[in-house]
């Protein structure tokens, strides 16, 4: 009898231990907007692996790419509302709620990686504060390669854009297209091929990465290398969910995030030439923009920046001041 009791007791202890282990291992679902072919997604999958390794499997992050768990426009609010603890989205989508959040999509404000890094350093305190007010904590942010022009016919001046049905991905690009005389429509990146195939759009501005992932050569022939800005994706966590984690897990996430930011910027840099090469090898003309086109687009950019200074208030001014130093 005593022996049997002992055995039952031991079983209960093992059972309890099993439960304790299960309770300690956390698993987070992470929605992201872009496909697995995109370097941002590859970088995030690495980030998730790094967190898992650093915590010995106690913290798992399951990446749901290409808008499969939440559609892109819903991701920020899903994290904010706690439906998911972590997510990625295109930062300047939020220029709608606060113009200051759209600094990195201002045409010709920062047009190469050095400037983009400087702009991110200038933006980060403002972006972090604004998102913190919504219960979100910034983990890292990674730029897309420079944004260039895709069209069916050569574009030698702003006048050549007139009337073109133009794919846009945020309000800032929509304004830019409108000011250039084009007719913008919002289309999420997975829907680009379909939008061109059905004639909803006939030109766009995006990175070589998105040009390649959407097989731009199937519907346009000209890539005009204007590299007008380097907008960023951002990864945020729900602050409350983060605080519930053990300190060592929190530290592992922050360390993996710093690593992912560095790795992501390097991947992005490398992407630019690689993907332009892919566009070329698939038959697209890689065109250096004419002085007339650049002059016209930069004049629009300058006007937009003036408007942005007015609409982004003290926060925008703080970003520009830090960026100028």
List interacting residues with ligand PCA (CB under 6 A): 90, 144, 169, 189, 206-207, 209-210, 231
CB of 238 to ligand PCA, least distance (A): 24
Please, which residue, 207 or 227, has the CB nearer to ligand PCA?
Answer: 207
CB of 155 to ligand PCA, least distance (A): 18
Please, which residue, 209 or 238, has the CB nearer to ligand PCA?
Answer: 209
Please, which residue, 87 or 231, has the CB nearer to ligand PCA?
Answer: 231
Please, which residue, 90 or 219, has the CB nearer to ligand PCA?
Answer: 90
CB of 115 to ligand PCA, least distance (A): 17
CB of 170 to ligand PCA, least distance (A): 8
CB of 75 to ligand PCA, least distance (A): 13
Please, which residue, 50 or 271, has the CB nearer to ligand PCA?
Answer: 271
CB of 209 to ligand PCA, least distance (A): 6
Residue nearest ligand PCA (C-beta atom): 207
CB of 168 to ligand PCA, least distance (A): 9
CB 39 within 8 A of CB 240: no
Query: Whole-angstrom Cα distance, residue 304 to residue 105?
Result: 11
Please, which residue, 5 or 198, has the CB nearer to ligand PCA?
Answer: 198
- The three state secondary structure string of the chain is CHHHHHHHHHHHHHHHHHHHHHHHCEEEEEECCCCCCCHHHHHHHHHHHHHHHHCCCCEEEEEECCCCCCCHHHHHHHHHCCCCCEEEEEHHHHHHCCHHHHHHHCCCCCCCHHHHHHHHHHHHHHHHHHHHCCCEEEEEEEECCCCEEEECCCCCCHHHHCCCEEEECCHHHHHHHHHCCCEEEECCHHHHHHHHHCCCCCEEEECHHHHHHCCHHHCCCEEECCCCCCCEEEEEEEHHHHHCCCHHHHHHHHHHHHHHHHHHHHHHHHHHHHHHHHHHHCCCEEECCCHHHHHHHHHHHHHHHHHHHHHCHHHHHHHHHHHHC
Please, which residue, 51 or 149, has the CB nearer to ligand PCA?
Answer: 149
């Amino acid at each position: 009898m005593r022996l049997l009791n002992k055995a039952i007791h031991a079983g209960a202890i093992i059972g309890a231990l099993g439960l304790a282990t299960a309770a300690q291992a956390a698993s987070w679902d992470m929605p992201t907007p872009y496909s697995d072919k995109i370097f941002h997604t590859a970088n995030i999958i690495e980030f998730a692996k790094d967190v898992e390794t650093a915590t010995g499997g106690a913290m798992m992050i399951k990446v749901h790419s290409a808008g499969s768990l939440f559609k892109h426009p819903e991701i920020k609010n899903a994290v904010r509302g706690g439906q998911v603890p972590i997510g990625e989205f295109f930062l300047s989508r939020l220029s709608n709620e606060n113009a200051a959040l759209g600094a990195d999509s201002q045409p010709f404000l920062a047009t190469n990686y050095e400037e983009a890094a400087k702009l991110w350093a200038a933006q980060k305190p403002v972006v972090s504060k604004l998102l913190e007010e919504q219960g979100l904590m910034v983990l890292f942010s990674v730029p897309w390669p420079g944004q260039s022009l895709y069209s069916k016919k050569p574009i030698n001046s702003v006048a050549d854009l007139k009337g073109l049905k133009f794919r846009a991905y945020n309000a800032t690009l929509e304004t830019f297209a409108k000011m250039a005389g084009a007719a913008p429509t919002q289309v999420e990146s997975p829907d680009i091929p379909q939008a061109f195939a059905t004639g909803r759009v006939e030109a766009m501005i995006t990175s070589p990465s998105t040009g390649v992932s959407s097989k731009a050569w199937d519907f346009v022939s000209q890539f005009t290398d204007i590299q007008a800005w380097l907008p960023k994706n951002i990864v945020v966590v729900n602050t409350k969910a983060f605080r519930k984690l053990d300190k060592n897990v929190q530290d592992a996430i922050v360390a993996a995030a710093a690593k992912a930011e560095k790795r992501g910027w390097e991947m992005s840099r490398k992407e630019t030439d690689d993907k332009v090469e892919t566009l070329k090898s698939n038959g697209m003309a890689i065109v250096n923009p004419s002085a007339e086109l650049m002059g016209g687009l930069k004049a629009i950019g300058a006007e937009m920046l003036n408007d942005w200074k007015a609409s982004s208030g003290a926060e925008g001014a703080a970003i520009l001041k830090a960026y100028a130093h």
